[in-house]
Copies of this chain bind each other. A is one copy, B any other.
Amino acid sequence: MAQIGDKWSLLILFALVDGPERFNALKSRVEGISQRMLTQTLRDLEREGYVIRTVYPEVPVRVEYALKEMGKDLVKPLYQLVSWADQHQEEINRARKEYDEKS
């Protein structure tokens, strides 16, 4: 959780499940992320072994990011969690509103 519970890791992982993506394509898919955070989070994910970075020495250079086996594996329990959150979103909103009104 400490590793992928930050602001962007989850979104980047999910943006990669459909297949490899280039840097700027990722930047488009992950709405609102800055160049800085995309680079930094990708480096972290690469370091932990979830993502592989491949450089194709063309001109201009092409860089692709893809999920490694472990990354694909990790996404499964994460989806469980996200789908849980989806199903309970209303309930949470209700609880929060109720709590706020009492205070």
Contacts and interface: CB of A to CB of B under 8 A. Distances in A.
Interface of A: 1-3, 5-7, 10, 46-49, 70, 73-74, 76-78, 80-82, 84-85, 88, 91-92, 94-96, 99-100
A75 to B, nearest CB: 10
B46 A99 contact: yes
Contacts of A95: 47-49, 70
A70 B49 contact: no
Contact of A96 (B47, B76, B81, B91): B47
A96 B70 CA distance: 13
Contact of A100 (B47, B80, B91): B47
A96 to B, nearest CB: 6
